[in-house]
Amino acid sequence: MSFFSLRNNGTYIVNKQEFASRLRKIIGFRTTNLRIYEAAFIHRSASFTLPDGQRINNERLEFLGDAVLDTILSDYLFEKFPDANEGFMTKIRSRIVNREILNQLAISMGIDKILVSNVSSNNSTRNLCGDALEALIGALFVDKGFKKTKNLFIKRVFNKYLDLGQIVDTDTDYKSLVFEWIQKHKNNLTFEYKEEYDFKLKKSVFSATLIINKEEFGTGQGASKKEAEQEAACKAWAKLKEIPIHLA
């Protein structure tokens, strides 16, 4: 990255002017509190340690931003659908915070151009940009508070890049769709799991293989078993839609 360069001691030098310019394009305003935003775009694989032992990366901000985003969407959907029940709002919120959607949003915003990581582009964990988006939301919350963070996300991200009507009308819970197909056709479904530790990312990565009648129909990976199951179910559903009759 042109605005991040690595010192010999493992810390980063930031071209403040270039970073501030890119950040302003993403969030829409200037801020003097650049340090917290710098941290939001440093993935754990590119972490560095300060002399006092503090480790700098976006993990803590990602944790905070995940919770803030859930609250933003809960508040927004509560206002948007005054007659909707809890189940409906929960389903719509889960579709929006889907890792694939968050990654797409982050790339649309240009976060991939500002993110610092040491993860190769063909790495099996593909959620770096979505994680950075959550970290950015966490940084905004710390810097500007909930109200401004919510307004910024809804106006500059949600309304700009997402179609709420399409999200409401599209059923993307592939695992449920596959289970319905299994019940209808009276077949047997199992998941097989593997857990591996990615030393570069310093976290566990799960894989799930969806098996129907002893035949493999899809494999997925993710930061959790649930995430891996959904990816495997998505691949399986694409195959199942093409099958007009019961499996042998």
Question: Annotated catalytic sites, by residue?
Answer: 66, 134
Closest CA to 136 of 115, 118, 119: 115
* Phi and psi based region of residue 183 (left: phi greater than 0; alpha: psi -120 to 50; beta: remaining): alpha
**Beta strand 55-56 with 189-198: parallel, antiparallel or unpaired?**
unpaired
Helices 99-109 and 128-144 cross at an angle (nearest 10°) of 70
Q: Residue 245: exposed, middle, or buried by beta-carbon count in 10 A (0-12, 13-18, 19+)? A: exposed
**Cα(90)–Cα(213) distance, rounded to whole angstroms?**
32
